[in-house]
Each structure stands twice: as structure tokens, then as C-alpha cells.
Structure 1
């Protein structure tokens, strides 16, 4: 993932998504390409067309913070997208170092999620690899995967890989396109911060080759820091679940995330989630108690 090419791709995609009328630019004549022209974007940002062109082509690597901010405003970028633009335009210089040791969950984090048996919890690394999960978290998102798999770096499941390449995981999400878009947008944000991460580049390359859907989404350059929301699941054991999720990030630079799920108190999903804790799942439960919604 070359930083300069990523920057150019991001700028071109975002420029093409803007129509002249969206930003108050008069539209004269027929346009050969969609979106704003380079000179129009440069005018809105208050920079020369030559300078902006060099930036988009990856020839300028010392853009000032003010210029980056101006381009972000001209492109109507969100807060997360502006952060991504800044990371691409001014990447941190990383000193050459020995290969990093395999990542592992912090003992305190592991103790925390294990102390919440009624709350599904999954600990993710920066590349969305599973570092740990509690019993309910495992049963909720990947019961078909060995519970001990996260303990061995070579066999760790990766939630983004599962989402695109594993049919069990694909069937789990009732709104798969929404979940897929969310996953790619989160991974894009991480990629912007980690241009030198070879394992991340390998993951993106694998998914691009094996999943046309991932490749199409990745090319759109979506960027979003997905910290909370709702997930809609069709669980193979208990049926339909509508769960709120929250992502907690430790105050260090590990890039770890603790993903927690919860159902609204008193809701049908709360009853269904409680059933998932039972060894037999829905065995012996009257049919229709957790009817699957479309």
C-alpha cells in the first residue's frame, strides 16, 4: 500500500464524487469525467492547480497542515475522512526495525471480558484479527471456529476475512452489505495510519483478489471510525438478534479494540441472547419465541 498512490486515489475518488452544484461551482458545458475538475478543486481549496495536481499525482510530500485542511474542506470530508487525508498526506516516518513480535491480548483486558459472561465480547487487533473472546462472544460471532484459535497467531481468525470469505459469517449478518461497508471503512482508516504494515497489506491484497465485493468497496475509499451502532444478526442457533455494539479502545498505542454487544433491556433480543448462553441454545424452547425478521 504505497502512501503516495493511496493519497492520489483517495483524492481522485472524492473529487469525482462531488458535483459542481454541490460546492457552488458554475457548470459550463459537457464534462468528460464525473465530478469536479482539478482546477475547480484547487480554486475551492485556495491552492494553485499545478500544486494540487502534483499532490494528487504523489509528487508533493510536504503539504502543510493548512493546505491539507483546505483540501479537506473543499472536498466536504467528514472528521474521520480528514484524519485519513492527513495520515496519507503526511505519513509518519518509521525507523527500520526488527519484525514485530506476534501481538497478544493484555492480561487485564482478558480478565475484563471473562468477568462479563452475559456480555458478548471480542478483542480485536489493529488489523481486525481476533486476539481473544469470551465464551458468549465466540458463540455469537464465530461458533464454528475453534475457541482456542486466537491463542495461536498463525491460526487467528480475522473478522474482516471471515466477513468476506466465510459463508457462515456472511449468513450471520442480516444486513451484510451494511456490515461489509462498515468493515472496509474501518480498515481504510487503519491503513492510512499504517502504510508500512506488511501484514495489513497482505490482508488487503488477499481480500482484493478473492472477493470482488471487497475490491469494489475498497476502491471507493470509504473511511469511518465505527465506534458504536446496531448489528442485525440471523444466528444459526437462536435466530434473529438486534444488538447494540460499542467499541472500547485502551489508552495505549496497541491499536486493540474491545467490541461489546448488548440487547436493549426487556427486548425480544435480550431474551434470545440469554438463550444463547444455554448449552443447548434453542433446544427445548417453543418455536416462534425468536421469530426471524426479514
Structure 2
């Protein structure tokens, strides 16, 4: 995976999604490829086609904020997609990362005795978890990678009744939160591209960070649960997040969680 072409690949994928009439352009005859042609995007964004070629080929690495915003507007990118565009154009982040958690964070996880909770990094490696999270699924065991588990573990497909939707969300969140220029992240993505499901989803270039939302489980021991996922920042390590799953008080979901311990 070439870091030089990440921005260009994203631009090409996105212009392939915008039809000429959606951009206010007149289309004549049959098009050889879907979406906007390169010259059309260049005209909409107010840049030269030659410059856009350099961006897409990865030979220009320093587009201005004005150019990026013009491209985002022309491509009708939403807030998350625009943030991703800017991130791809920015210098690679520092190589420093936190692959462990402090004792204080582990104690916090353990104190949530009725709430499954774990810590992951932007590469979706699980770094720490409490007992209830690991009882909810082995996927949340420290040392596991959530992306690999999502696609390679048959038990995970059974755990999530909405597996196809969650797999798509996981892939979009990896693209939004991880930096493919990080060697370990690049290795993860390259290895995952051998999986047909992941490869198809990755090719969509969808961008969506992890959100707070309801998630359905079907646990092999306690049956159906619906839990609210919450994403919390770990202020001690900005490349980590804390994920919790909460049940409604005095609900069947809370009773089911209690049976896991």
C-alpha cells in the first residue's frame, strides 16, 4: 500500500460517486466510467486538470486548505469525509503510540462491574478490558484485533445479528480513525485485503468514525441483548478510546449481562 497514493485513491473513488447532473453539469452521450471526469472535477474545484492529475497520482503532496475545501465542496463530502480528506493531505503523525494502558485506566474498567468496557487504539487492537467485556465476547480480549475478528472469526458473525451492517461500520471507522501510513496499520490492511468481504467494503472508501449507538448481540449463553455503545476519549493517550456497552436499568438486557459473571 503506497502512502503517496492514498489521497489520490480517495479523490478518484469519490468523484466516481458524483453524477454530472448532480453537480449541475450537462452530460452528453454515454460515459466510459461512472461519475465525474477528471476535467469536470477540476473545473468545479477551480484547479487545473494537470494539478488534479498530480494529486491523484500522488506526485503532489501539499494541497492548500483552500484547494482541499474546494475539492470537498465539489465532491459533496460530509463532515467526516472532509476531515478524512484533510488528514490524508497532512504530514504523517508522530510514530509515537501507546500500546498499553495505565493502571488507573485498568482500575476504571474494572470498577464498571455491570458495564462491559475495553480500550482500543486507532488500529482497533484491544489493549485492555474488564471481565464483563471478555464474557460478552472473546473479541474484546486484550491482544485481539477487532477488524480481524470481525471478518475472520465465525463466532463473531453469530454474535451480531446485524453482522453485515456492523462489518461495514467497522471498515468505515478504520478508514476514518487509523492512519494507513503507519506501518503496522498498513500491514493490517494489506493482510485484510485477502478477505473478500473486507476488500469490497474497503474499496467503497466509506468514512465514518465510531459513534454512540444501539447494538444488538446474540450471546450463545444468555441470548439476545441490546446495548448502547458509548465511545470515550482516553485523555492520557490520544490514540486510544474507551468503549462501553450499557444496558437500560432493570431491563432484561441488564439481567442477561448479570448472568455472564
SS of 1:44's equivalent in the other structure is helix
**Aligned pair in 2 of structure 1 residues 61, 201: CA closer, same or farther (>3 Å)?**
same
SS of 1:42's equivalent in the other structure is helix
Unaligned runs of 5+ in 2: none
**Aligned pair in 2 of structure 1 residues 70, 178: CA closer, same or farther (>3 Å)?**
same
1:182 aligned partner: 169
2:150 aligned partner: 163
Aligned residues: 261
1:164-183 superposed Cα distances (whole Å, 9 cap, x missing partner): 11111121111011111111
Contact 2:45/2:67, CA 8 A, preserved across alignment: yes
Cα RMSD for the two superposed structures: 2.0
Q: What TM-score comes out, normalization by structure 1 length?
A: 0.83
2:118 aligned partner: 122
Q: Distance in 2 between matches of 1:170 and 1:223?
A: 22
Determine which of 230, 234, 244 is the counterpart of 1:250. Answer: 234
* Equivalent residue runs for 1:203-218 within 5 Å: 203-209=188-194, 211-218=195-202
Contact 1:250/1:256, CA 8 A, preserved across alignment: yes
2:69 aligned partner: 69
1:231 aligns with 2:231: no
Give the drift of 1:9.
Answer: 1.2
Determine which of 173, 177, 187 is the counterpart of 1:202. Answer: 187
**Aligned pair in 2 of structure 1 residues 23, 267: CA closer, same or farther (>3 Å)?**
farther
Q: Which moved more, 1:33-42 or 1:267-276?
A: 267-276
1:21 aligned partner: 21
SS of 1:17's equivalent in the other structure is coil
Following superposition, which runs of at least 4 residues in structure 1 exceed 4 angstroms of deviation?
none
Unaligned runs of 5+ in 1: 151-155, 278-294
Q: What TM-score comes out, normalization by structure 2 length?
A: 0.93
Bigger Rg, structure 1 or 2: 1
Determine which of 128, 133, 140 is the counterpart of 2:129. Answer: 133
Contact 1:245/1:259, CA 8 A, preserved across alignment: yes
